[in-house]
Amino acid sequence: MNTALSKVAGLATGIAIARIVGPEEFGTFAVAFVALMAVLAFNDLGVSLAIVRWPGDPRRIAPTVTALSVASSAVLAAAMAAAAAPFATAMGAPGATGPVRLLALCVLVNGIVATPAALLQRELRQDLRLVADQVNLWLGAGVSLALAIAGAGAASLAVGRLVGAVVSGILLVRFSPLPWRAGWDPAVVPGLLRFGVPLAGASAVVFGIGFADQLVVGAVLGPTALGAYVLAVNLAGWPVQLLSAPLRQVTPPLFARRRADAPAAHEALGLVARGLLALAVPCCVALAVCADAVVAVVYGPAWHAAAEPLRWLALAAVARVLCELLYDYLVVAGRTARVLSVQAVWLVALVPAVLLGLRLDGLAGAALAVALVGPVVVLPAYALALRAARTPVVPVLRGAVAPLGAGLALALAVGLAGLAGAGDLVTLAVAAVATLAAWLLLLRRGHLVVLTAGLPGVPAAATTTTTTTTATEAPA
């Protein structure tokens, strides 16, 4: 529920704001948002998660975690504000200096509420998180829209983000199972830092994978091109997040319950991979082949530059969802060092590939580079990691055959409609019908059994799981 509501809010807000502010102002905000996400990767030094995993009473460590989180966020927020002007200039968007400084306050808010948020996660109070998250999204969206209509430009997005974060932060403190209190226990500090700092480092790598292409595009082509590219990135990730993110929430416990039984774990991996790909491939292929029509109908002609990168980024999303599944599996299997090495290889390969793609074909080339790095570099690296974990790769590959075939048939159907001279709306209708037909076919072939019947001991994932959102989710 939380995921669906959040995605609807983000999509609706993104469409409205994109039509009001245009690519240049949207790109200016994108520069500020990338800076925010970079700082949040390190923000609480990873220590807040210790509350979730603490075996004893969290009252012992909560005040110290709060102190560490607030102190680190205050330092990082100040550094972000101080570096706003040179960062924005380096990204070709001096106008982003103000939004960057506004979003620096979001970093401080994030640190202040890190402990309450972790306590709610520990107590499985997703109902209260849902309230805070939805207030954040809808209030922030309303403020942003009002300011955008008033002509505030990129600042409207930053102010809306800050207002939503502050109000939802107040709610998180109010909902917290323990009173908000900062303190200092020297006995627990070393353990918290040993636990949290490696997580912060891993988060930095994850940030690099998710945002390196945007940093490169902004630095090379400037904010207008970045605005179009970010719009394509957000659109490409939307169907996968909505359809496969709920399923991902049950995969770690699913694999953990079968960890002692290798054949059962291998079978579970194959079944979940089949389900994920059966969901992701048809909708991603449909989005790729209808990229021009989607951008034209939903966002308008001012955003036509987003269509070409969207085509490739939608296909890249298929590889990403499979990579995320393999990540979950290997982490549960205790192969965290292998996972980190794969992530590092991904990041090292991504940056030069995007630079080369930009030089050869602009935004489309950058997106094509992202799409190629997945199957050419990252998936083979994960295959080697699976082999090291004594997990067969064949079931995963076998599960991809039918979804890929359905995706090819879908692409042909939509392509024929385009060749027949169908308009944008007709093309989108054909794509929607073809996607539903592909899902029904895959359902009949048993590829979605993990969604409809679940696995032994685990309920049907797509209908029973909710997820939480963060205070930093970008509008699609």
DSSP string covering 251-274, please? HHHHHHHTTT-HHHHHHHHHHHHH
Nearest CA-CA partner of 345 in 149, 191, 204, 205: 205
The token pair at 283 is: 């909708």
* Residue of higher predicted confidence among 416 and 228: 228
Tens digits of per-residue pLDDT, 94-109?
A: 889 999 999 999 999 9
Alpha-carbon torsion (412, 416, 419, 425), positive or negative: negative
Q: What percent of the chain has pLDDT over 70?
A: 88
pLDDT surpassing 80 at residue 150: yes
- Helices and strands (DSSP H and E) totals, the chain: 20, 0
Q: How far is CA 222 from the centre of its chain?
A: 23
Backbone angles phi, psi at 455, to 5 degrees: -110, 160
Instruction: Please list, residue by residue across 110-134, b when 16 or more beta carbons sit within 10 angstroms of its beta carbon and e when fewer do.
Output: bbbbbbbbbbbbeeeebebbbbbbb
252 touches 331 (CB < 8 A): yes
Residue 147 CA to residue 91 CA, distance in Å, equals 24
- Crossing angle of helices 189-221 and 2-40, in 10° steps, is 90
Place 471 in a pLDDT band, splitting at 50, 70 and 90.
very low
Candidates 168, 129, 9; CA nearest to 466 is 129
Two tokens, residue 276: 């994920």
pLDDT score of 98? 92
Which pLDDT belongs to residue 396? 87
CB atoms within 10 A of CB 24: 19
CA distance 339 to 384: 11
**Whole-number pLDDT of residue 468:** 39
Which positions ≥6 away from 314 have C-beta within 8 Å? 235, 236, 284, 285, 287, 288, 291
CA–CA gap between residue 45 and residue 207 (Å, rounded): 14
Is the torsion defined by CA of 278, 279, 280, 281 positive or negative?
positive
Least confident of 36-50, 427-441, 455-469: 455-469
Is 70 exceeded by the pLDDT of residue 470? no
For residues 65-79, average pLDDT: 92
Q: Would you say 280 and 244 are in contact if contact means Cβ atoms under 8 Å apart?
A: yes
The span from the CA of 325 to the CA of 342, in Å, is: 13
Q: Which H or E run includes 23?
A: helix 2-40
- Distance CA(337)–CA(343), nearest Å, equals 10
More confident residue, 464 or 38: 38
Q: What is the mean pLDDT of residues 317-331?
A: 87
Q: What is the pTM of this model?
A: 0.79
- pLDDT of the residue at 1: 52
Q: Average of pLDDT values for 326-350?
A: 86
Amino acid at 118: A
Question: CA nearest 35: which of 194, 223, 247, 253?
Answer: 223
Domain spans of the chain, in order of start = 1-198, 222-467
| Helix segments in 249-335, DSSP class H | 251-257, 262-289, 291-294, 307-332
Query: What is the reported pLDDT for 245?
Result: 66
Please list, in sequence order, all residues whose beta carbon lies within 8 angstroms of the beta carbon of residue 421, skipping any fewer than 6 positions away: none
Mean per-residue pLDDT over the chain, rounded: 84
User: What pLDDT, on the 0 to 100 scale, is given for residue 316?
Assistant: 94
Q: How far apart are CA 190 and CA 174, in angstroms?
A: 29
